Chains A and B, each alone.
Chain A
Amino acid sequence: MYFCGMEFIAKVEDSQKSNIGEIAASLEGMGIQIRRIMRITGTIFGSTRSLPLAKLKIKGIKSVEQDRRLRARS
């Protein structure tokens, strides 16, 4: 099945916040581009060309969601 690339946001387990850099590195090792690591909120912003979101939920990742488009509200 062809799978087009997408951007995603991910949240690490609270207990793994201090390891967020290593978790992001593991994702990079899977060919995923990491755009931003946010340590206070324990979130990662990245993009994948080939993997479905479910495959990104590696050890230490609590949840993954597709990055949504946002617009000004007026």
Chain B
Amino acid sequence: MPSKKHPIRQAAEKPFVKTPDQSSTDTGSSKPPKKKFTGRVLVQLDPSVSTTDISRKAKTRSLRLIPLHALSAGHLNEGLDKADGIIFERLRVALVNERSAASIKQLQALRNTPFLSSEPERYIYARAGARKELPFKDTASATWGIQATNVRKSKFSGKDVKLAILDTGFDFAHPDFMGRVIHRKSFVGRQAKDREGHGTHCAGIAGGGRKGKAGVRYGVAPDSRLYIGKILNDQGEGSDGLALAGIEWALEQGCRVISMSFGAQVQKGDKHSVIFEEVAKIALANNCLLIAATGNESDREEGIIAAVNHPANCPSVMGVGALTENLKVSNYSCATVGRAGGQVDISAPGDDILSAWIDGEHEVESGTSMAAPFVAGVAALLWEEHPDVTAREIWDKLIGQVRKLGLRTVGAGAGLVYVP
């Protein structure tokens, strides 16, 4: 009879904690097979019967059960080779080897038996907890942000969900978006064409798909219906009034999500805008979710934590913080500061994010600007899946299905936006 390996030792010999290569963070990778049962049997013993009497009873079926204390430390498997089973005296449990499993069943069937119940011994494996500490990396099939948010697991693509991006406009001639009907309106000039790049990048994350026909996937909701509102000029600047005009237009169009990767810095203790809060409530009542970047004014390495920007600091606007490839709060990402300020509600990938760019190009950018459209895209997936719920319910689903990261909520909110 070949010797059984101790399950923990066997698990250690088959490393299930992945090394930090590309496949470790690509959810499309195959997982190693895991055996469930060892073949040995755990037996619950009657606590009122002594170990001596249990051993005596076992002998009636030619089974030799020995107490654990009779073994040298660390020799459990050897003990199970020499004897038929081991009694854990304090636990009132016996572990019986594979060849004796049938005899134990017979003993269990006897009247007044001290062998009360049995179950197969399971292998136990180290949890892949270290995996989340590993840096995600862009692969040929998906950006690290798409991997980390697990959006490829979703059966939905945001099909026909109206998703507004209020920003610097869009590159409407971008080859990745050929064939898409993209609605537009400019509030800062005649054309909604993006000459800066920021708006195209954000729209690409929320509502884009792949680079080319079969390249890396960088967009969350590729079948959403994009509504591009140019409210920032070609220098990336705008104002409250322009933002409100963009929100009004998006509501007129029946948009379900409005992604806002812009803001204004606030000071610690500043209260949120009463007007934007009321507008956000009106949007929610119109079944539309406002999602905003929390801002980039922190410098954690220097001990500077800046407060969540306006309008992300409004309670009814979902404020999105940024995460690194290690799923840590990005150095620059703003945070909940003091009681009066706004809060980070949720986090999303923000560092080194690849997406579409002007002139048909692609660029890697960092900021909470990149994080907000990830959440907007996942919201679009949820709206497709649950078309009849309220915007408040979509909010609750976004928060309820986050991947918890064990980070402080002041920096990361509820956790990483995620498709479970």
Interface residues of A (CB under 8 A from B): 7-11, 35-36, 38-43, 45-46, 62-63, 65, 67-74
Contact = CB atoms under 8 A, between A and B. Distances in A.
Interface of B: 167-168, 196, 198, 201, 231-232, 236-245, 247-248, 251-252, 261-264, 273-275, 278-279, 282-283, 286, 293, 295-296, 309-310, 365-370, 372
Contacts of A65: 240, 273-275
Given A41-B279, A65-B273, A71-B236, A7 B261 contact: no
A41 B296 contact: no
A28 to B, nearest CB: 16
Contacts, number: 114
B237 A70 contact: yes
B262 A72 contact: yes
A73 B278 CA distance: 23
Contacts of B263: 70-71, 73
Contacts of A74: 198, 201, 261, 296, 365-370
A40 B244 contact: no
6 shortest A-B CB distances, which residue pairs? A74-B367, A45-B241, A72-B236, A74-B369, A38-B248, A73-B369
A43 B274 CA distance: 12
A43 B241 CA distance: 9
A7 B282 contact: no
Contact of B264 (A10, A39, A69): A69
Most buried by A among B243, B275, B365, B366: B275
Given A41-B283, A46-B241, A69-B238, 8 more contacts: A8-B241, A35-B241, A41-B279, A69-B264, A71-B262, A73-B367, A73-B369, A74-B365
A36 B245 contact: yes
Contacts of B282: 40-42
Given A65-B274, A72-B232, A72-B236, A43 B264 contact: no
Contact of A71 (B242, B244, B245, B264): B264
Contacts of A40: 248, 251-252, 282, 286
Given A45-B244, A65-B274, A70 B261 contact: no
Most-contacted residue by chain B among A8, A69, A72 (CB, 10 A): A72
A7 B239 contact: yes
Contacts of B369: 72-74
Contacts of B279: 11, 41, 43
Contact of B237 (A36, A43, A67, A71): A71
Contact of A67 (B236, B240, B251, B293): B240
Most A C-beta atoms less than 10 A away, residue of B168, B263, B365, B370? B263
A68 B264 contact: yes
25 contacts: A7-B241, A41-B248, A41-B282, A43-B248, A43-B279, A45-B242, A62-B278, A63-B275, A65-B240, A65-B275, A67-B239, A67-B240, A67-B241, A68-B310, A69-B237, A70-B237, A70-B264, A71-B263, A71-B264, A72-B237, A73-B261, A73-B296, A74-B261, A74-B366, A74-B367
